[in-house]
Amino acid sequence: MISPRAPLPLTHLPLPQVRDFAILSGLEAGVRGMLLSVMPLVIYRAFPDASLVSWIYLGVGMMSLVFGLLVPSLATRWSRRWMYTAGACLYLVGIALALNGMPVTSVLALASLSLATVTCAVCLNAYVLDYVARTNLGRSESLRLMFSGPSWVIGPISGVWLLNWWAPAPFIVAGLFALIQIAMFWRLRLGNGKMIARARADAPQPLAYLGRFLQQPRLVVGWLFAVIRSCGWWVYIIYLPIFCVENGLGNAVGAAVLSASNMTLFAAPLLMMLVRRMGVRNAVSGAFAVGGAFFVGGWALTMSPWMVVASLYLASVLLIMLDVCGSLPFLMAVKPSERTEMSAVYASYRDASGIVTPAVAGVILIAMPIAGLFAVCGAGMLWAAWLARGLHPRLGQARSQFVT
């Protein structure tokens, strides 16, 4: 006689939480933060010509922009989990190329690291939109910034220190972060998002979803917010230190102010509480307006270099406020059926700003001192503040539930 078996209980994997995505972002920030100040030095040592270095970065930025738009098609063919894994592995490839030490491989390393960043960003944004509720996106962004904060504060300084101590050291540390990132991703078992099965439809074409993007004004405006915010960071991180050197403040002042600015990331949850109190529209428009005023103030105070530094530092605090809430207008307007494709469009803001800022700066610096760039950046932020007044006043608030 065969003894009856007890039925096996049905189980399922726990859904990833907001905190899981924040940890994943924090690990990637460990890679990027460690190499943020190191790679420009490596490239400059390989090609000791500032103009040539600018052209290298411009070329890498354009290549990264094009590749980022192809990521959704590749993710459809290979599945999103393998695409994210490939992106994280590109960090390891870039690190290995940088360790080679040859001029050509240093350029290839920079390109590989840029492709890794855009690939991971597109896939991670799509995962967040899959698993994080619309009304919880604000908390997701604030936690992401808080977990990334230590890497952005400590990474740039420690990376340069390690490079001077032993050239391979910062790359080895960054490689360890990349390996842990891959392990954490596979531990979460995210698969291909909520739709685990491979898609049977043809892979989406970049021009097709770019057309759908341009037909949705809310997405276009949200993307412009991200580009202008990123341009502000480019001006602050690259051109403020140059201003300090040119005006006799030394090269340590720019690095110290950048670290002080990044410490504001730890206040991201408090800033998110402020966003909820003010509303997304008021927070975004107010941060752009006040930040833009401080950038213009930096231009107006050029006779006092320390006042310029103070004004731009205050502007950076508003940029962090925009890091907390500036992406919400775009993320909250994305249709569920277009998450992966529109995540690729959104991630292109980094490369777009990396192309626009050096190009605009090159034109402005022909006729104006470097402080003129602060004024142009401030004007762009003020324009974004005006655009933000057109957002819906209840954007980001939970919808009321009516019982009949």
Round to whole Å and give the CA distance between 294 and 313. Answer: 9
What is the dihedral sign for C-alpha 112, 118, 124, 126?
Answer: negative
Length of the chain counted residue by residue: 404
Pick the CATH number of 204-392 from 3.10.20.90, 2.60.40.420, 1.20.1560.10, 1.20.1250.20: 1.20.1250.20
Q: Are 59 and 137 in contact (CB under 8 A)?
A: no
Give the pLDDT band (50/70/90) at residue 179.
Answer: very high
Burial 341-367 (b: 16+ CB within 10 A, else e): bbbbbbbbbbbbbbbbbbebbeebeee
106-120, 190-204, 229-243: which has the highest mean pLDDT? Answer: 106-120
Domain ranges of the chain: 14-193, 204-392
Round to whole Å and give the CA distance between 288 and 311. Answer: 14
> pLDDT tens digits for 394-404?
665 555 444 33
pLDDT of residue 125: 78
> pLDDT tens digits for 108-155?
999 999 899 988 888 887 787 777 766 666 667 667 777 887 887 787
Average pLDDT, rounded, for the chain: 78
- What is the value of pTM for the model shown? 0.69
pLDDT of residue 92: 94
Question: Which helix (H) or strand (E) is 211 found in, with range?
Answer: helix 206-214
Neighbouring residues of 282: CB distance < 8 A, sequence distance ≥ 6: none
pLDDT of residue 321: 85
Q: Fold match between 14-193 and 204-392?
A: yes
Round to whole Å and give the CA distance between 53 and 352. Answer: 18
Q: Is the pLDDT of residue 393 over 50?
A: yes
Q: Is the pLDDT of residue 188 over 70?
A: yes
**Among candidate residues 42, 350, 33, the one with its CA nearest the CA of residue 177:** 33
CA angle (80, 83, 84) in 5-degree steps: 90
pLDDT of residue 198: 43
In the chain, pLDDT over 90 holds for what percent of residues? 15
More reliable by pLDDT, 304 or 217: 304
Helix axes 38-46, 50-78, angle to 10 degrees: 120
pLDDT of residue 8: 46
pLDDT of residue 394: 66
Round to whole Å and give the CA distance between 65 and 344. Answer: 10
Round to whole Å and give the CA distance between 106 and 112. Answer: 10
CA distances from 233 to 20, 239, 263, 403 (A): 27, 10, 15, 47
CA distances from 180 to 167, 171, 375 (A): 22, 14, 42
3-state secondary structure of 201: coil
Give the pLDDT band (50/70/90) at residue 49.
Answer: low
More reliable by pLDDT, 297 or 194: 297
Round to whole Å and give the CA distance between 395 and 261. Answer: 28
pLDDT of residue 161: 80
> For tokens 């469009």, what's the residue?
345
CA distances from 376 to 145, 298, 346, 360 (A): 27, 11, 24, 9
**Among candidate residues 43, 27, 285, the one with its CA nearest the CA of residue 180:** 27
> pLDDT tens digits for 67-95?
877 887 787 788 888 888 999 999 999 99
> For tokens 């997405």, what's the residue?
219
pLDDT of residue 189: 78
pLDDT of residue 400: 47
Q: Is the pLDDT of residue 168 over 60?
A: yes
**CATH 2.120.10.30 fits domain 14-193:** no
